[in-house]
């Protein structure tokens, strides 16, 4: 029996260690490969179900004692990773888990860009509880502008601050926005400020990370999912960028639920509010091609994946390209 030393962590460690990062990417690779079988097939529920099944199977091999705090709602007859579900092999640290087997199910079904499988882990109790407020107003920028912008400022002023921080004219600033009717006034403000708009159909986790890393866009603005905001915060922490959010209840009932839970709806939540731990991990694998990652590709008897793995404690961002023997994945890729 091996006696733990300073270089051999004991099994009772309460914090996730650096070796967890590459375990997580195995999980997102599995979900992406399973979901990619259904790219362009027009059936988002089947694609999501395949990704969920693969993610759950691989997640239960990860050395952690995890609880899903950002999942896919309450458990029912459909396959899903539900809030409160225990995941991992139970032998490692106690952690909060945030998952989205497919961020962009519609993108997958229609064969559009930017569908990802995502998985985030942080120390237990460190992920924000939105109390069933499903949407939030968001702003994401990279490290250069992180200390200058503020969600409470006018859109035009924030764009000018980003341009100044990046050392380029406003006309070269590109803002990522979800293509939704609710964002028509926001889009007008961005264009009147002189900046450019890049629309995404779905998948604002990918948009947030792209903004935080300066991967084709300079900032993300608009209202999107609160769970996606918390997942993205785990990644943004590793980049040195900034995510700010403000809860946006969709109706009076949701507003009252938020107030009853003690939320201040005027409060601007920072990256550190959304994930308080400085030791969190994020992994994502591309399902379809996008600005952030290439999608799953098939090359004869090989399946090729591209992933990104991040750890906030060290500020490390790794790009991982992997080849998988197709015959080993028949369980997940057969029709």
Residue-level pLDDT at 81: 79
Residue 71 known to bind ligand: no
Q: How do residues 50-91 score in pLDDT, each as one tens digit?
A: 999 999 999 989 999 999 998 865 544 445 678 888 999 998
Which residues, in sequence order, are CB contacts of 206 under 8 Å at separation 6+?
103, 104, 114, 116, 200, 284, 290, 291, 292, 293
Indicate if 158 and 249 belong to the same structural domain: yes
CATH number of the structural domain spanning residue 35? 3.30.540.10
Residue 104 known to bind ligand: yes
DSSP H or E run through 176:
strand 174-178
Q: Indicate the pLDDT class of residue 297, thresholds 50, 70 and 90.
A: very high
Q: Are strands 116-123 and 94-103 parallel, antiparallel or unpaired?
A: antiparallel
Both tokens assigned to 32 = 């992406």
Q: Which of 224, 244, 274 is the last residue of a domain?
A: 274
Segments in 37-168 forming alpha helices (H)? 44-59, 105-110, 155-166
The answer to whether residue 312 is domain-embedded is yes
Which residues, in sequence order, are CB contacts of 1 under 8 Å at separation 6+?
none
Residue 198 reports pLDDT greater than 50: yes
The answer to whether residue 15 is domain-embedded is no
Indicate if 148 and 266 belong to the same structural domain: yes
Both tokens assigned to 207 = 């948009």
CA distance 41 to 221: 31
Residue 134 reports pLDDT greater than 50: yes
The answer to whether residue 178 is domain-embedded is yes
Tell me the C-alpha to C-alpha distance, in Å, between residue 25 and each of 62, 77, 182, 307, 308: 10, 28, 35, 7, 8
The answer to whether residue 185 is domain-embedded is yes
Residue-level pLDDT at 330: 79
Q: Indicate the pLDDT class of residue 17, thresholds 50, 70 and 90.
A: low
Residue 48 known to bind ligand: yes
Residue 204 known to bind ligand: yes
Q: How do residues 225-271 score in pLDDT, each as one tens digit?
A: 999 999 999 999 999 999 999 999 999 999 998 899 889 999 999 99
Q: Which of 246, 274, 302 is the last residue of a domain?
A: 274
Domain containing 47 equals 20-125+279-332
Residue-level pLDDT at 78: 47
CATH number of the structural domain spanning residue 254? 3.40.190.90
Tallying the residues shown for the chain, one arrives at: 335
Relative orientation angle of helices 20-36 and 44-59, to the nearest 10 degrees: 150
Residues 52/76, Cβ–Cβ less than 8 Å: no
Q: Which of 258, 274, 290 is the last residue of a domain?
A: 274
Residue-level pLDDT at 14: 61
Residue 85 known to bind ligand: no
Give bridge partners of residue 325 from the DSSP assignment. 302
CA atoms within 13 A on the CB side of 45: 3
Segments in 261-319 forming alpha helices (H)? 271-274
CA distance 32 to 115: 9
Indicate if 159 and 80 belong to the same structural domain: no
Indicate if 108 and 159 belong to the same structural domain: no
Indicate if 69 and 141 belong to the same structural domain: no
Indicate if 158 and 270 belong to the same structural domain: yes
Indicate if 162 and 267 belong to the same structural domain: yes
CA distance 185 to 34: 38
Both tokens assigned to 167 = 């050392």
Q: How many domains does the chain have?
A: 2
* SS3 state of residue 14: coil
Which residues, in sequence order, are CB contacts of 250 under 8 Å at separation 6+?
134, 135
Residue 181 known to bind ligand: yes
CA distance 215 to 63: 32
Indicate if 73 and 173 belong to the same structural domain: no
The answer to whether residue 241 is domain-embedded is yes
Q: How do residues 135-186 score in pLDDT, each as one tens digit?
A: 999 999 999 999 999 999 999 999 999 999 999 999 999 999 999 999 999 9
The answer to whether residue 130 is domain-embedded is no
Residue 202 known to bind ligand: yes
Q: What is the pTM of this model?
A: 0.88
Residue 225 known to bind ligand: yes
Indicate if 25 and 84 belong to the same structural domain: yes
Residue 105 known to bind ligand: yes
Residue 228 known to bind ligand: yes
The answer to whether residue 92 is domain-embedded is yes
Q: Indicate the pLDDT class of residue 18, thresholds 50, 70 and 90.
A: low
Residue 182 known to bind ligand: yes
Residues 304/320, Cβ–Cβ less than 8 Å: no
The answer to whether residue 208 is domain-embedded is yes
Higher-confidence position of 335 and 295:
295
Q: Indicate the pLDDT class of residue 333, thresholds 50, 70 and 90.
A: low
E strands, 71-207, in order = 86-87, 94-103, 116-123, 135-141, 174-178, 196-200
Higher-confidence position of 39 and 129:
39
Residue 263: CB atoms within 10 A of its CB come to: 18
| pLDDT cut 90: percent of the chain above it | 74
């Amino acid at each position: 029996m091996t006696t733990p030393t300073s270089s051999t962590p004991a099994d009772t460690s309460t914090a996730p260690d650096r070796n967890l990062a590459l375990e997580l990417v195995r999980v997102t690779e599995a979900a992406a490969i399973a979901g990619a079988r259904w790219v362009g097939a027009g059936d988002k529920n089947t694609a999501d179900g395949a990704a969920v099944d693969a993610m759950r199977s691989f997640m239960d091999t990860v050395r952690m004692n995890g609880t899903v705090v950002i999942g896919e709602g309450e458990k029912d007859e459909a396959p899903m990773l539900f809030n409160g579900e225990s995941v991992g092999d139970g032998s490692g640290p106690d952690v909060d888990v945030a998952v989205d087997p497919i961020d962009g199910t519609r993108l997958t079904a229609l064969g559009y860009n930017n569908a990802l499988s995502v998985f985030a882990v942080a120390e237990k109790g460190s992920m924000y509880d939105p109390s069933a407020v499903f949407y939030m107003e968001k702003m994401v920028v990279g490290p250069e502008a992180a200390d200058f912008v503020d969600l409470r400022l006018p859109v035009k002023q924030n764009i000018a601050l980003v341009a100044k921080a990046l050392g380029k004219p406003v006309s070269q600033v590109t803002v990522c926005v979800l293509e939704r009717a609710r964002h028509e006034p926001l889009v007008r403000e961005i264009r009147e400020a002189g900046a450019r708009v890049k629309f995404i159909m779905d998948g604002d986790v990918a948009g947030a990370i792209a903004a935080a890393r300066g991967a084709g866009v300079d900032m993300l603005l608009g209202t999107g999912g609160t769970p996606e905001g918390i997942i993205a915060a785990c990644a943004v922490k590793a980049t040195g960028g900034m995510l700010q959010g403000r809860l946006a209840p969709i109706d009076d009932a949701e507003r009252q639920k938020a107030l009853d839970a003690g939320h201040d709806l005027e409060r601007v939540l920072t990256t550190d509010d959304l994930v308080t731990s400085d030791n969190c991990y994020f992994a994502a694998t591309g399902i379809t091609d996008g600005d952030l990652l290439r999608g799953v590709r098939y090359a004869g008897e090989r399946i090729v994946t591209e992933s990104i793995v991040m750890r906030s404690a060290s500020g490390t961002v790794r790009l991982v390209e992997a080849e998988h023997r197709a015959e080993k994945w028949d369980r997940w890729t057969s029709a």
